[in-house]
């Protein structure tokens, strides 16, 4: 094994002749070491700012013979895709101009390239907000924009903060504050977290060719002197990314990496990240601070040979069709376990990116995403498309997403297509507009011991999920997808076993705590939107009443077993696949607690004629009183959570009167609260759940099991405490109202 040292303090160019990568004569650039390191070697990088795009030319040979890139002990090396600009000339007032030779960008000028590709919906969310009248521009700006404004991949940073791109030069001189950005996932405006900074704007014009032209940037620094402050501009597309695929077994540890002009990364595209594995296997990306990627920070995704936004480029076929083709092309080109995927992304802080914190299609399979803090993703609202999320994975086969803290994002996590064998465990999602979306998948996937605390907790547009021991303190939204048949696989492989629509349902809920936060409006039983939504599993009953014609009870009772589903199909309807569409898939729920007005499935005490014997929910406990959920820093980098319920004090012991769901607990709590008495109460007795308890998804016909084929035993909670034979429902063994509890630590 050879250890190479790199130091930005190495004299340049005088030391080039003697630099050999030794500690006494370190290389000045990381790429100097990256060009010669081989399996088993280590590259130790010392303090300094490295303005380069590291291109590892060679990979390791196995998990035991990797190439390790790491920060020197106790030091803080920074890799930036930007360059400092200190040649600004004042134009007028707060507006300055810099004229730069195009040669500094090489063959990739981010100010000449826009956010472009499949599923880009708003290339400029600012332009959309103005067109809708949600924001306004100064009168001097009206009529100066191009017909279709689009954000570019370049950016300008003032003392580390990303400024906002103007749609015309005139807007640089007269910017107005921006207040909203449209979220097509909610079909509603969302707030811009940096609203106070939105008048710091820039505009760029590229003239001439790459070798002899210029790029001119105008910027409004709102009183700051850009030649005295630190002003940087995007120059490089990546910070750490191999130029070719199959550069395997790389470890990257302990760096700060920032300022990359990464392009839009749809599942049909060449998914390039600020740092990425480029269709390789066995990377470990850990303990880094990764931020300010224009689109995606960490990429575990596919590469160009299987397609690159062909729908947008050619218009020949839909994005759905090209994505389906990409799966089969990837199989032909070697997508399988042990060849692609199997990465570890662990202990990183990932923040302030325009599209994704971590992205991947197929290349993310068999990976571990663990103990990362991901925040402020897509909150500038400069552009929007159907590929945004703190984590956005397609085909995350047998991938474990565990112990992450995802907050202050437009969408916390989006698992799309082939969410199979995926295990989502012990994560905290909060302060997002939406927490998690699982779309067009058939399972089996498991969701255990998580906290979902944003206004929309779960978008369930899939089948075949098992939800065990979670706290779900936001709305569930359900949708059937009957126009996109999507693949599923043989167990623990990439081999395609079939393809199916999403019929809605076939989910399991046990030991969860559902909370309807105080101040949220009542959930309506009659809904006409595309998605059915509400707090608690009652949404499945509302869906059954609205969308199915057979096998549904008077109050929306639906089968809770496969036998009940089969009886409805065979006994009431004739036909083949089209017959199944009219019958609701089974949903199995038991031993869940509903707080503050969240509601269980129909059949749990709704009426004496609750429907068939296999309908409804057993062991449901309802706790009345206004409920609030708060989070705090524990002073050591961890997060505590407190659930308060009006009229309920923290209790002791496990016996809390868990009942059959008749609603008596709710009525008693309300009566005692009205009388001024505080009611001691825990959140109900749960049980240890195992693979054998969960059955198999109807379509995929595979067990809910771990990636190695062993069964699940859900016997620990969100912080690793062992569950006894009886412990509290929800993500903590002793979750009690009114008492703060640690739910996340790095």
Q: How much is the average pLDDT of 127-145?
A: 96
pLDDT at site 190: 85
| 683 vs 647: which has the higher pLDDT | 683
Report the SS3 class of residue 286: strand
pLDDT at site 681: 54
pLDDT at site 336: 96
φ/ψ of 235, rounded to 5, equals -125, -40
Q: Which of 20-24, 102-106, 114-118, 193-197 has the lowest mean pLDDT?
A: 193-197
pLDDT at site 52: 97
pLDDT at site 679: 38
* pLDDT at residue 256 greater than cutoff 70: yes
Percent of the chain beyond pLDDT 70? 93
* pLDDT at residue 675 greater than cutoff 50: no
Q: Which of 74-88, 218-232, 499-513, 673-687 has the lowest mean pLDDT?
A: 673-687
Q: How much is the average pLDDT of 602-621?
A: 60
Q: For the chain, give every domain's residue range.
A: 41-78+238-589, 83-234
* pLDDT at residue 671 greater than cutoff 50: no
pLDDT band for position 526 (50/70/90)? very high
Q: How much is the average pLDDT of 604-616?
A: 43
pLDDT at site 13: 54
pLDDT at site 176: 96
pLDDT at site 662: 35
CATH homologous superfamily of domain 83-234? Golgi alpha-mannosidase II (2.60.40.1180)
Report the SS3 class of residue 98: strand
Helices (H), 548-691: 562-572, 577-580, 664-674
Q: Is the separation of the CB atoms in 544 and 568 below 8 Å? A: no
Angle made by CA atoms 183, 189, 194, in degrees to the nearest 5? 95
User: Which of 431, 415, 412, 423 is CA-nearest to residue 467?
Assistant: 423
pLDDT at site 573: 67
Q: How much is the average pLDDT of 377-402?
A: 97
* pLDDT at residue 674 greater than cutoff 70: no
User: Which of 484, 494, 396 is CA-nearest to residue 447?
Assistant: 396
> Rounded distance, CA 594 to CA 577, Å?
36
pLDDT at site 432: 97
pLDDT at site 664: 38
pLDDT at site 692: 97
User: Which of 55, 62, 69, 56 is CA-nearest to residue 6?
Assistant: 69
Q: Which of 260-274, 412-426, 653-667, 718-732 has the lowest mean pLDDT?
A: 653-667
Residues 6+ apart with CB under 8 A from 477: 456, 458, 459, 460, 461, 531, 532, 533, 539
> Rounded distance, CA 673 to CA 87, Å?
68
Q: Which of 258-262, 310-314, 723-727 has the lowest mean pLDDT?
A: 723-727
* pLDDT at residue 720 greater than cutoff 80: yes
> Rounded distance, CA 561 to CA 211, Å?
68
DSSP element (H, E) containing 320: helix 319-332
Q: Which of 241-255, 273-287, 604-618 has the lowest mean pLDDT?
A: 604-618
Rounded to a whole number of angstroms, the CA Rg of the chain reads: 27
| Burial call 144-160: b when 16+ CB within 10 Å, e when fewer | ebeeebbbbbbbbbbee
* pLDDT at residue 610 greater than cutoff 50: no
Q: Which of 241-250, 358-367, 483-492, 662-671 has the lowest mean pLDDT?
A: 662-671
Q: How much is the average pLDDT of 226-233?
A: 98
pLDDT band for position 17 (50/70/90)? low
Residues 6+ apart with CB under 8 A from 727: 654, 685, 686, 717, 733, 734
> Rounded distance, CA 530 to CA 186, Å?
11
Identify the CATH assignment for 41-78+238-589 out of 3.40.50.2300, 2.160.20.10, 2.40.110.10, 3.30.910.10. Answer: 2.160.20.10
Q: How much is the average pLDDT of 364-373?
A: 98
* pLDDT at residue 213 greater than cutoff 60: yes
Give pLDDT tens digits for 490-511. Answer: 999 999 999 999 999 999 999 9
* pLDDT at residue 193 greater than cutoff 90: no
> Rounded distance, CA 146 to CA 261, Å?
22
* pLDDT at residue 7 greater than cutoff 90: yes
Task: Please give the distance of CA 302 from its chain centroid, rounded to a whole number.
Answer: 17
pLDDT band for position 677 (50/70/90)? very low
Q: How much is the average pLDDT of 667-693?
A: 62
* pLDDT at residue 602 greater than cutoff 50: yes
pLDDT at site 680: 43
pLDDT band for position 643 (50/70/90)? very high
Peptide bond into 444 cis (omega under 30): yes
Q: How much is the average pLDDT of 137-164?
A: 97
Q: How much is the average pLDDT of 80-97?
A: 98
Residues 6+ apart with CB under 8 A from 257: 78, 79, 80, 239, 240, 274, 275, 288, 289, 290, 291
Average model confidence (pLDDT) for the chain? 92
User: Which residues sit opposite 62 in a β-bridge?
Assistant: 65
> Rounded distance, CA 371 to CA 54, Å?
25
pLDDT band for position 18 (50/70/90)? confident
């Amino acid at each position: 094994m050879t250890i190479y040292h790199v130091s930005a303090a190495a004299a340049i160019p005088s030391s080039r002749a003697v630099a050999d990568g030794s500690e006494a004569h370190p290389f000045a650039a990381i790429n100097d070491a990256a060009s010669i390191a081989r399996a088993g070697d280590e590259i130790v990088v010392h303090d300094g700012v490295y303005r380069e795009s590291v291109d590892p030319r060679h990979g390791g040979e196995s998990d035991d013979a990797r190439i390790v890139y790491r920060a020197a002990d106790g030091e803080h090396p920074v890799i930036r895709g930007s360059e400092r600009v200190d040649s600004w000339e004042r134009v007028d007032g707060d507006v300055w101009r810099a004229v730069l030779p195009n040669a500094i960008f090489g063959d990739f000028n981010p100010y000449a390239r826009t956010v472009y590709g499949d599923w880009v919906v708003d290339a400029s969310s600012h332009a959309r907000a103005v067109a809708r009248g949600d924001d306004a521009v100064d009168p001097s700006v009206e009529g100066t924009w191009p017909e279709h404004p689009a954000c570019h991949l370049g950016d300008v940073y003032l003392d580390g903060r990303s400024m906002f791109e103007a749609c015309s030069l005139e807007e640089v001189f007269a910017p107005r504050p921006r207040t909203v950005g449209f979220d097509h996932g909610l079909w509603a405006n969302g707030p811009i977290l940096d609203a106070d900074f939105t008048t710091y704007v820039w505009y760029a014009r590229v003239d001439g060719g790459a070798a002899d032209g210029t790029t001119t940037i105008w910027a409004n620094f709102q009183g700051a002197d850009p030649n005295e402050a630190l002003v940087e501009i995007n120059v490089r597309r990546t910070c750490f990314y191999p130029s070719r695929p199959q550069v395997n077994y790389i470890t990257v540890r302990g760096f700060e990496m920032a300022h990359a002009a990464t392009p839009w990364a749809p599942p049909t595209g060449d998914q390039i990240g600020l740092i990425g594995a480029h269709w390789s296997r066995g990377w470990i990306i850990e303990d880094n601070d990764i931020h300010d990627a224009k689109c995606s920070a960490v990429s575990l995704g596919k590469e160009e040979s299987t397609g690159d936004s062909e729908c947008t480029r050619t218009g020949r076929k839909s994005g759905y069709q090209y994505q389906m083709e990409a799966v089969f092309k990837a199989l032909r080109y070697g997508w399988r376990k042990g060849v692609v995927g199997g990465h570890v992304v662990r202990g990183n802080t990932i923040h302030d990116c325009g599209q994704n914190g971590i992205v991947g299609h197929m290349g993310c399979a068999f990976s571990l995403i663990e103990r990362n803090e991901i925040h402020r993703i897509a909150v500038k609202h400069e552009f929007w498309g159907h590929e945004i999320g703190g984590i956005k994975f397609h085909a995350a086969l047998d991938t474990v997403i565990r112990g992450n803290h995802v907050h202050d994002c437009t969408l916390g996590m989006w698992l799309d297509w082939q969410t199979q064998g995926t295990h989502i465990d012990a994560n905290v999602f909060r302060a997002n507009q939406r927490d998690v979306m699982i779309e067009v998948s058939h399972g089996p996937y498991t969701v255990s011991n998580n906290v979902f605390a944003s206004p929309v907790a779960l978008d369930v547009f899939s089948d075949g999920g098992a939800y065990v021991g979670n706290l779900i303190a936001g709305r569930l939204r359900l949708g059937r997808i009957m126009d996109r048949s999507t693949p599923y696989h043989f167990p623990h492989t990439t081999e395609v076993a079939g393809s199916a629509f999403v019929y809605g349902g076939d989910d399991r809920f046990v030991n969860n705590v559902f909370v309807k936060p105080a101040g949220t409006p009542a959930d309506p039983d009659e809904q006409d939107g595309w998605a059915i939504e509400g707090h608690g599993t009652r949404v499945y009953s509302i869906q059954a009443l609205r969308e199915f014609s057979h096998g549904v009870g008077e109050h929306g009772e639906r089968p809770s077993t496969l036998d009940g589903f089969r009886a409805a199909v065979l006994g009431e309807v004739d036909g083949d696949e089209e017959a199944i569409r009219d019958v609701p898939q089974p949903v199995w729920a038991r031993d869940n607690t509903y707080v503050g007005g969240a509601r269980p499935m129909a059949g749990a005490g709704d009426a004496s004629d609750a429907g068939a014997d296999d309908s409804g929910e057993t062991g449901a406990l309802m706790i009345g009183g206004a409920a609030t959920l708060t989070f705090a820093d524990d002073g050591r980098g961890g997060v505590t959570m407190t659930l308060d319920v009006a009229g309920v004090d923290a209790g002791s012991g496990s016996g809390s009167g868990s009942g059959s769901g008749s609603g008596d607990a709710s009525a008693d709590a309300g009566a005692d609260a009205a009388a001024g008495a505080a009611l001691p109460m825990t959140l109900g007795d749960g049980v240890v759940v195992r693979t054998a308890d969960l059955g198999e998804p109807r379509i995929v016909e595979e067990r809910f099991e771990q990636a190695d084929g062993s069964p699940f035993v859900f016997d620990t909670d969100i912080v690793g405490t062992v569950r006894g034979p009886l412990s509290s429902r929800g993500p903590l063994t002793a979750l009690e109202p009114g008492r703060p509890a640690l739910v996340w630590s790095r």
